[in-house]
Amino acid sequence: MEFSTTENRQMIAQAVRDLVEREVRPNLMDWDESQHMPIDLFKKHFGPAGMLGVLVPEEYGGAGLGYHEYVDTIVEVARVCGSIGLSVAAHNSLCTGHIMYFGNDEQKKRWLPKLATGEWLGAWALTEAGTGSDAMRMATTARKDGEEWVLNGTKNWITHGISGDVVVVIARTGELLDSKGMTAFVVERGTPGLKGGKKENKLGMRASETAEVIFDECRIPEANVLGEIGQGFQQAMKVLDGGRISIAALALGIAKGALDASVAYSKERHQFGKPISEFQAISFKLADMATRIEASELLIRQASDMKNKGQRMTKESAMAKYYASEVSVYASTEAVQIFGGYGYTKDFPVEKFYRDSKLCTIGEGTSEIQKLVISREVLR
């Protein structure tokens, strides 16, 4: 397993860090308070910087990089703002990733250049109000009508559900509970019958738009079917293997941000005539945070290395996502404790890390679902 930091990776991480410090940090609390998703940030800055097509081959307008560089990108964004990191992750690994892995050459040429350059923002629609982890009971349907498919139903908890320019949607084309009864489709914004619904008012990740996507007799051509009819569920599961690395990287970035803030504060804050970093109660908290964060990163790098090599990594990505997300909650909770009363105010960054971190244990498969995946793999 080879994942040592190269000079090229250091340059990419520094470039992302500089961009985020300049364009995100001064605005992050205003965006959080107002639940404003800064679309211009993605289209004018992140897209041209290659951050929205990290894994997309250069022939389709992307950066043509691997999963280690992708993880570096997410981490550097999330250690400043989890909300923006979440949007970058969802755009790259879910919508763009699904088209990249399962689209034909014509479909890739049609959609990937716009997604990779930030001209278009992507959304990925699997979850419904009554079917989270139980995706095979989805109610959204697609029926064939001549040369077209007609979509009906509502998807929930969709990142960029209102603002996304293109949506990859998984709909039922066969019988309920049939794993080969679902198909993936690409729907462009502006298609009659496609509209955004309710925007969620969330605890954290408030600058990342989460909303319903509604399909009402939405007609799309046969050319918008991704892969084979009936293979949508299998495709989605493979996409989620990579998506788990994304959320793990997001969690890692949040945890690193919480640790960075805690170390700096512990050196500045004085009590009883000395910095609180000199008290064992605080220094041991920092030691535990740093150790768990390091372990998280090793799990993530292992899964990324396997993904780069085209190896099956269902267990490894689930382990990375499960552990890193729980560590993110742990680290941000400890950060609030280290800051004391100040950590409970919005004048300091750790309360936002605390709020944002919780989503990582829920989105793209809860911690309980990750343990189910891991245990099944262990017992194979």
The catalytic residue positions are: 364
Residues 248 and 173: their CA atoms lie apart, in Å, by: 32
Question: 213: helix, coil or strand?
Answer: strand
Residues 157 and 211: their CA atoms lie apart, in Å, by: 5
Residues 252 and 328: their CA atoms lie apart, in Å, by: 6
How do strand 166-172 and strand 122-125 relate by DSSP bridges?
parallel
Classify residue 168 by burial, with Cβ atoms within 10 Å: 0-12, 13-18, 19+: buried
Task: Check if the beta carbon of residue 266 is closer than 8 Å to that of residue 277.
Answer: yes
Where helices occur in the chain by DSSP H, the ranges are: 7-23, 28-34, 39-40, 67-78, 82-89, 97-102, 105-116, 232-268, 280-308, 314-339, 350-357, 367-378
Token pair for 366:
């809860």
